[in-house]
């Protein structure tokens, strides 16, 4: 008798008609075999799936080039199909589930013909933790199978844990014919199903990532009383050896990976890495928040990563254990067969192929690596991995950081007055768009808690859920806001960022212990410069002033845009946030 997983796989195979079915067990041998296949046999758009890189300098590393039209998340083709449009909310595209399934069946029928269907059993989180979610994804691309083995805990034990129960999350993925007209990423939260056709790109195809860990999980959290957030998790060790844990939400391609393994510019401080993208957060028996990373790898932006900006990541990428390291859409140095991207080295190597595999001509003015080119690497290789990364209980959280990319208006750091005010400030958060999603780059949009593209239900209800979480907590942690991206009038960054960001984290942690001093502004509490560690920092007094300024006279547009954004959610918007809005408006216009 077939069990529930087998039945589902059979059903999917009937629809997709693969040449054969390969059940993955997550072993090292299997990863090698899949890479071999991707180098020699399997093709995407007529080209190999993997190219072997220089195994001496980049052990176990491979290059993947995606279809040129398939290089970022496609938010306009991503749908969340609750049975009620109301529950899906204006923050998501919606289709009625039956209609969506009919549309998907049409483009899925026979889509795996001549290809292998890989069955990937994996668990999000430590299998013995209350956070654990057991999942099975099918895919017809070896790149996706190998990436999922890096990004999740994949093993055939998962099948034993699911046994004959129906209690597993399903992911159906096929690269289809790669035509954007037949590309759709559909979520069915009520059935714990993600169905994605026509894209091989990260967030569209590695379904454990945004689709399951955020869109499906945020809805589960809403129903079950926990939070699934777009947040890094770090431990900050002070010179005395005390470790405080923080979570931080920043939109895609705004430095989460760098922050999660920052090399401190302040002597005696050290960052321990637990996650660079996703945190599942629960209330512990002690009434505090506990966070855990459901993933097991990094899918980070390559351009800008170097020994100067993130030495730990370069070491991690070169560690070469039994997990392969994948590079997607980076450039290739043909003299050395090494991956390359803008700023990896100061000078351009002499002979490069660009991310599409064409000879690179610097005079073209084009980028050589795609701006959203990525690396995929196991967190187990991370040289700053926290000993509590795999702790089934997660880690207790001392403070929450939210942030965006804003060239003006918002200071380097500020603290909200209380939990509700923090939720309100998070709800009106804006950020300039990046290359992580298709569309124009650098356009300001509201991106509450960096969750706009990832919240799997009505965002008005999501804000209500945050408020409710604050009420259950004995002592809600303080909520802080950061902006590493403030610029001066000439467009130059005011703050050096990277290792210097430890100064901001230090102030934050001291505030959570009521040690450091702050000054009240209309939007929150900014550091009193007396309490902000500037020892050895080369930022002028006048730039420090600018970086902490609020530009009160320029808030009209901000308030207007926030108000319009809030209005979209109608009566789903909690009244507390309207009240907070009125208070802020009065202060600013006062
Ligand atoms: O492509 S992903 O969604 O996995 C990465 C990101 O955009 O944050
Ligand atoms: Mn992300």
Q: Where are the domains of the chain?
A: 4-45+73-225, 228-296+387-575, 299-381
> Do residues 371 and 143 lie in contact, with contact meaning Cβ atoms separated by under 8 Å?
no
Please name which ligand lies nearest the alpha carbon of 299.
1
Cα–Cα distance list, 61 to 252, 296, 433 (Å):
24, 18, 30
3-state secondary structure at position 23: strand
- The answer to whether 479 and 415 have CB atoms below 8 angstroms apart is yes
CA nearest neighbour of 3 among 193, 162, 194, 195 = 162
| pTM to 2 decimal places | 0.97
Ligand 1 centroid–CA 6 distance in Å is 30
Query: 87 in helix, strand or coil?
Result: helix
Quick: pLDDT tens for 260-305. Answer: 999 999 999 999 999 999 999 999 999 999 999 999 999 999 999 9
Span 441-497, pLDDT tens digits = 999 999 999 999 999 999 999 999 999 999 999 989 999 999 999 999 999 999 999
* pLDDT score of 508 more than 90: yes
Ligand 1 geometric centre to CA of 586 (Å)? 38
Contact present, 12 and 111 (Cβ < 8 Å): no
Cα 72 to averaged position of ligand 1 atoms, centre (Å): 8
Element holding 557 (H helix, E strand): helix 556-567
Give per-residue pLDDT as tens, 298-337: 999 999 999 999 999 999 999 988 899 999 999 999 999 9
CATH code: domain 299-381 is 2.170.8.10
* Closest listed ligand to the CA of 278: 2
Q: Which overall architecture, per CATH, does domain 4-45+73-225 show?
A: 3-Layer(aba) Sandwich (3.40)
| Overall average pLDDT of the 79-99 stretch | 98
pLDDT in the model for residue 78: 98
Confidence of residue 164 (pLDDT cuts 50, 70, 90): confident
Q: Which region, left, alpha or beta, applies to residue 45 given φ > 0 means left and ψ of -120 to 50 means alpha?
A: left
- pLDDT the model gives residue 552: 82
Give one word for 197, left, alpha or beta, with left for phi > 0 and alpha for psi -120 to 50. beta
Query: What pLDDT sits at residue 131?
Result: 86
Which bin fits 552, alpha (ψ -120 to 50), beta or left (φ > 0)?
alpha
Atom of ligand 1 nearest to the CA of 253: 8
**Nearest atom, ligand 1, residue 73 CA:** 1
Cα of 204 vs centre of ligand 1, distance in Å, is 8
Mean pLDDT of 408-428: 97
Nearest-CA residue for ligand 1 atom 6 is 252
As for ligand 1, residues whose beta carbon falls within 6 Å of it are 73, 202-203, 209-210, 252, 299, 436
The label of the residue with tokens 């102030």 reads 507
Q: What is the pLDDT of residue 130?
A: 87
CA distance 206 to 193: 14
Bridge partner list, 301: 374
Residue found by looking up tokens 């512990």 in the block:
284
pLDDT in tens, 509-523: 999 999 999 999 999
Does 348 have pLDDT greater than 90?
yes
Q: Whose CA is nearest to atom 3 of ligand 1?
A: 203
User: pLDDT of 55-70, one tens digit each?
Assistant: 999 999 999 999 999 9
Which atom of ligand 1 lies at the shortest distance from residue 210's CA? Answer: 3
Which ligand number lies closest to the CA of residue 249?
2
Same fold, 228-296+387-575 and 299-381: no
How much distance in Å is there from the Cα of 203 to the middle of ligand 2? 8
| Cα–Cα distance measured from residue 437 to residue 453, given in angstroms and rounded to the nearest whole number | 9
Ligand with the closest atom to the CA of 232: 2
Is the pLDDT score of 558 beyond 70?
A: yes
Bridge partners of 124? 133
The pair of three-digit structure tokens given for residue 232, joined into one six-digit string? 């890094």
Ligand nearest to the CA of 229: 2
Report the nearest-CA residue for atom 8 of ligand 1: 252
How far apart CA 211 and CA 144 sit, in angstroms, is 14
Q: In terms of DSSP H, where are the helices of 41-130?
A: 85-88, 97-108
From 200, 254, 436, 437, mutation site for ligand 1 pocket: most ligand atoms within 8 A of C-beta: 436
**Angle subtended at Cα 185 by Cα 179 and Cα 191, rounded to the nearest 5 degrees:** 145
State whether residue 464 is helix, strand or coil. Answer: helix
**Which sequence positions are flagged as catalytic?**
254
Pocket test for ligand 1, best of 210, 371, 439 (most atoms within 8 A of CB): 210
- Ligand 1 centroid to Cα of residue 298, in Å, is 10
**How far, in Å, is the centroid of ligand 1 from the Cα of 252?**
6
Residue 572: HSE in the Cβ half-sphere, 13 Å Cα cutoff = 20
Ligand 1: residue whose CA is nearest its atom 1: 203
Residue identifier of the C-alpha nearest atom 2 of ligand 1: 203
Helices 217-224 and 459-472 pack at an angle, to 10 degrees, of: 50
> Counting atoms of ligand 1 from 1, which one is nearest the CA of 437?
7
What is the chain's mean pLDDT, rounded? 96
What DSSP line would sit under 305-363, residue for residue? -STTT-HHHHHHHT---SS-EEEES-EEETTTTEEE-TTSSSSPPSSEE-TTSSBP-GG
pLDDT at 241 over 90: yes
- Among 150, 209, 433, name the best residue to mutate to test ligand 1's pocket (greatest count of ligand atoms within 8 A of Cβ): 209
Task: Answer for the pair 108, 197: CB distance below 8 angstroms, yes or no.
Answer: yes
The per-residue pLDDT for 1 is: 66
Residues present in the chain in total: 590
**In angstroms, rounded to a whole number, what is the distance separating the alpha carbons of residues 502 and 515?**
17
* CATH T-level assignment (fold) for domain 228-296+387-575: Phosphoenolpyruvate Carboxykinase; domain 3 (3.90.228)
Average pLDDT over residues 572-589: 97
Which residue, by CA, sits nearest to atom 4 of ligand 1? 203
Tokens linked to 521: 């502004």
pLDDT of residue 111: 98
CA of 249 to the centre of ligand 2 (A): 9
Of the candidates 451, 403, 460, 444, the one whose C-alpha atom is nearest the C-alpha of residue 554 is: 444
Two tokens at 24?
């993955």
| Residues near 223 by beta carbon (within 8 Å), at least 6 away in sequence | none
């Amino acid at each position: 008798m077939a069990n529930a997983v087998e039945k589902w796989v059979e059903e999917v195979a009937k629809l997709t008609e693969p040449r054969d079915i390969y059940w993955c067990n997550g072993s090292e041998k299997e990863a090698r075999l899949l890479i071999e296949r991707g180098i020699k046999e399997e093709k995407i758009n007529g080209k190999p799936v993997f190219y072997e890189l220089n195994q001496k300098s980049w052990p176990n590393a491979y290059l993947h080039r995606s279809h040129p039209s398939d290089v970022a998340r496609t938010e306009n083709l991503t749908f969340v199909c609750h049975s009620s449009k109301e529950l899906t909310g204006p923050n998501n595209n919606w289709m009625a589930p039956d209609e969506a399934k009919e549309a998907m069946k049409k483009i899925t029928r026979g889509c795996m013909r001549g290809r292998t269907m890989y069955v990937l059993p994996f668990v999000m989180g430590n299998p013995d933790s209350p956070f654990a979610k057991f999942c099975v994804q099918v895919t017809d691309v070896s790149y996706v199978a190998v990436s999922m083995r890096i990004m999740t805990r994949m093993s055939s034990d998962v099948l034993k844990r699911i046994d004959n129960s129906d209690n597993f999350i399903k992911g159906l993925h096929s690269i289809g014919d790669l035509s954007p007209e037949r590309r759709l990423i559909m979520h069915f939260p009520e059935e714990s199903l993600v169905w994605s056709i026509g894209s091989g790109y990260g967030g569209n195809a590695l379904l454990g990532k945004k689709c399951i860990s955020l869109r499906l999980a945020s809805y589960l959290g809403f129903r079950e009383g926990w939070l699934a957030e777009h947040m890094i998790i770090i431990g900050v060790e002070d010179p005395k050896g005390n470790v405080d844990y923080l979570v931080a939400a920043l939109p895609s391609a705004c430095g989460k990976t760098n922050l999660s393994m920052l090399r401190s510019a302040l002597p005696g401080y050290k960052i321990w890495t637990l996650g660079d993208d996703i945190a599942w957060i629960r209330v512990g028996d002690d009434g505090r928040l506990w966070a855990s990373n459901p993933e097991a790898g990094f899918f980070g932006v390559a351009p800008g990563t170097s020994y100067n900006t993130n030495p730990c990541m370069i070491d991690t990428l070169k560690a070469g254990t039994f997990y392969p390291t994948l590079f997607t859409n980076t450039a290739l140095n043909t003299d050395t067969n090494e991956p390359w991207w803008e700023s990896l080295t100061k000078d351009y190597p002499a002979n490069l192929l660009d991310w599409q595999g064409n000879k690179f001509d610097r005079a073209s003015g084009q980028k050589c690596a795609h701006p959203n080119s990525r690396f995929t690497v196991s967190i187990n290789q991370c040289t700053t991995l926290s000993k509590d990364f795999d702790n089934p209980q997660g880690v207790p959280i001392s403070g929450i950081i939210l942030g965006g990319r804003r060239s003006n208006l918002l200071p380097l750091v500020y603290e909200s007055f209380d939990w509700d005010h923090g939720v309100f400030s998070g709800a009106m958060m804006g950020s300039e768009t990046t290359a992580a999603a298709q569309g124009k780059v650098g356009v300001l949009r509201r991106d509450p808690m960096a969750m706009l593209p990832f919240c799997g239900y009505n965002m008005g209800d999501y804000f209500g859920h945050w408020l409710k979480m604050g009420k259950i907590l004995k002592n809600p942690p303080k909520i802080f806001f950061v902006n590493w991206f403030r610029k001066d009038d000439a467009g130059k960054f005011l703050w050096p960022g990277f290792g210097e960001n430890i100064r901001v984290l230090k102030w934050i942690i001291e505030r959570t212990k009521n040690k450091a001093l702050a000054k009240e502004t209309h939007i929150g509490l900014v550091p009193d410069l007396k309490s902000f560690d500037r020892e050895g920092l080369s930022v002028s007094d006048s730039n420090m002033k600018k970086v902490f300024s609020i530009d009160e006279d320029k808030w009209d547009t901000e308030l207007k845009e926030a108000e319009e954004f809030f209005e979209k959610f109608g009566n789903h918007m909690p009244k507390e946030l309207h009240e907070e809005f009125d208070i802020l408006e009065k202060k600013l216009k006062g």
